[in-house]
Amino acid sequence: MFERFEVLRDAEMSRFTTLKLGGPADYLAFPRSAEEITALFEEAGKAGMPVTVIGHGSNLLVLDGGIRGLVIRVEKNMRTIRREGNRIIAQAGAMLGTVAAAAAEAGLTGLEFACGIPGTVGGGVSMNAGAYDGEMANVTERVDGIYPDGRPVSLNREEMCFGYRTSAVKQMDFVVTEVTLALQPGDPQAIRARMAELTARRAEKQPLDLPSAGSTFKRPEGFYAAALIDQCGLKGYSIGDAEVSLKHAGFLINRGSSSRDYLALVRHVQKIVEERAGVRLEPEIRILGEEAEPA
């Protein structure tokens, strides 16, 4: 099965997430094209196998029992970036930081906010990733993709129905294959200076030296998740080797933890913040897979 594709069997997902956590996927595929994605869905369908699609794995918590069936990772083999006038067209697997650097090299402004977001452009439009007053909704002109049965789909900015950390991709359940970004001409030196400034701010305020999935929780309306967590006295709180970062309470970090302990910490933070502040925090991370069987 899957002999004609680049596929790993029993792939430890801790190798493929920025959290460095997660048990094995039965099969992990690295498609080279939209056509290969369709063919992988077909093969899995014939075998009655569930399919999970991921990008770089920067917002994933994969549980210790791993993921059954086929995981399609749209990343390393789909990273082509090209420029057409004031547009940057990137395959879904291109890293946002790389796309932002390509825009800067081309003297195009508008994507500086994305320079430090550790995800793919496909994942970025799927969840409307954003930082520092910018978000993908502001620069996305068109999103191309395919449904699991191979039907193509192409949506413009309005049809993408962008919202806070969401988009039509989640409702329509298709796989993003290419993104067209509409940018503006700018001064390359000023663009690079802004990117350097944002990179320095990230390094100062975020625990970039330890495994995490970025901001663990969505921003609740009228509040900031990190501020609520800090106000509830949870900075530095840990379960096993999963810890609320002392540097930024919105980041839950992995110091050698298990997914079980990390998920327990997520739930504990939710419980305490709801009890003490009356606000229910919703995870921004995507939780996949199965719990491990008890020892």
Catalytic residues: 165, 215, 284
Q: Residue 38 belongs to what H/E stretch?
A: helix 34-46
CA distance 170 to 172: 6
The number of residues making up the chain comes to 295
CA distance 76 to 93: 6
User: For the chain, percent helix, then strand, then coil, each to nearest 5?
Assistant: 30, 30, 40
Provide the token pair at 143: 């999103």
Question: Is-contact 243 256, C-beta < 8 A?
Answer: no
**Positive or negative CA dihedral for 211, 73, 98, 161?**
negative
Q: Which of 86, 179, 82 is nearest to 140 (CA)?
A: 179
Q: What are phi and psi of 171, to 5 degrees?
A: -75, -35
Question: Is-contact 131 201, C-beta < 8 A?
Answer: no
Q: What are phi and psi of 109, to 5 degrees?
A: -110, 155
CB atoms within 10 A of CB 126: 29
- Residues in CB range of 165: below 8 A, 6 or more apart: 127, 128, 129, 218, 284
CA distance 257 to 27: 24
Q: Which stretches of the chain are DSSP H helices? A: 34-46, 96-105, 121-126, 168-172, 188-205, 225-231, 259-277
